[in-house]
Amino acid sequence: MPIQRFALQIPADFRLAGVATSHGWYALAPYAWEPDSGILHRVEALLSGTVTHLRISQQGGELAVGSSQPLSEFDRRELERRLRWCLRLDEDLSEFHDLCASHRTLYDAVLPSGGRLLRCPTLFEDVVKVILTTNTTWTQTKAMAARLVATLGPHVPGDPSQRAFPSPEAVAAAGEDVFKQNIRLGYRNASVLRITRDVVEGKLDFEALKESGLPTHELRRRLLTLPGVGPYSAATLLMILGRYDELGIDTELKAHVSRKYFNGGPVSEKQMRAVYEHWGRWRYLAYWFDPQ
């Protein structure tokens, strides 16, 4: 019997508002965050072909997921799997929490999310989005993601304004012209298309990579082979995969370290690494939540 609503069990310390806004992903289509009501929106296309607009909210000790379309039991299970991944419901960050306990300001910064950084259901989507953040402004990143989804994403029945992230097949089928004319990722068009084609041709299996359990350095090596993915993007994607030992060094991190630890003076990469070195396998999170 189809349902349009189900609950998701969450850890006692889980706060949807904190997790949803823990980094910028909530502002990239097909995610949307409504701060006033505390609803995380997402349009999702399921294996069954169902495309549905989800409204995720916290109701006390659980999450309520509302779906615009009827869901089979199979759909529901698929959605539950995806959402648990996106919200990191099953990730154990207790060791990081323990380390934070002795740093009052960091502890306060981590508290709302518990250190859970929102991610996308598929690594494919995260890879594309990370590429959309490089060498551009956040405003343009949002616009690029919105155009990609609006142009190629499958939509909710009867509502073309509600679209899911496009499948690799849909992206590959679109080809250069649509990217050049409509989606306009600039020079990133080529990287995204090349990666997508490799996925469609089976040369690249991101979902297998997620579950591979490969050592971090090997994951990093593989991510670096992707066109458009350099050290910064690789570190960000490792974070997506729950590997926090490496810092994503970009202008933001540099500015932060300079301001907070070097009086605004010049900072070398070595010095940036040194600041967070002692956080070991939690370095990325220690930086991410480092106040001020």
Partner DNA sequence: GTCCAGGTCGCGC
Partner DNA sequence: GCGCGACATGGA
| CB neighbour list of residue 118: distance below 8 Å, 6 or more residues apart | 19, 20, 21, 22, 23, 25, 26, 31, 86, 87
Angle (deg, nearest 10), helices 216-224 and 231-240: 130
Which residue do the tokens 């590959």 mark? 172
Spatial contact of 67 and 52, defined as CB atoms under 8 Å apart: yes
For residues 89 and 74, give the distance between their C-alpha atoms in angstroms, rounded to a whole number: 20
Find the helix or strand (DSSP H, E) in which 99 lies: helix 94-100
Shortest CB 47 distance to DNA, Å: 31
> Considering beta carbons, is residue 120 or 253 the nearer one to DNA?
253
Asked if the peptide bond before residue 30 counts as cis, ω within 30 degrees of 0, the response is yes
221's tokens: 């090596």
Spatial contact of 228 and 131, defined as CB atoms under 8 Å apart: yes
Alpha-carbon dihedral 79, 84, 86, 91, rounded to 10 degrees? -160
> Considering beta carbons, is residue 180 or 281 the nearer one to DNA?
180
Pairing verdict, β 159-163 and 155-156: antiparallel
> Considering beta carbons, is residue 92 or 176 the nearer one to DNA?
176
Shortest CB 116 distance to DNA, Å: 16
Shortest CB 24 distance to DNA, Å: 5
> Considering beta carbons, is residue 65 or 285 the nearer one to DNA?
285
Shortest CB 115 distance to DNA, Å: 15
For residues 251 and 154, give the distance between their C-alpha atoms in angstroms, rounded to a whole number: 35
> Considering beta carbons, is residue 65 or 120 the nearer one to DNA?
120
CA dist 119 to 30, 86, 122, 178, 268, Å?
12, 5, 8, 27, 30
Shortest CB 235 distance to DNA, Å: 8
> Considering beta carbons, is residue 58 or 141 the nearer one to DNA?
141
> Considering beta carbons, is residue 115 or 248 the nearer one to DNA?
248
Shortest CB 222 distance to DNA, Å: 13
> Considering beta carbons, is residue 63 or 241 the nearer one to DNA?
241
Q: Which residues bind DNA (CB under 7 A)?
A: 23-24, 133-140, 143, 180, 184-187, 189-191, 224, 226-234, 248, 250-253
Shortest CB 261 distance to DNA, Å: 15
Find the helix or strand (DSSP H, E) in which 148 lies: helix 138-152
Shortest CB 10 distance to DNA, Å: 25
16's tokens: 């949807």
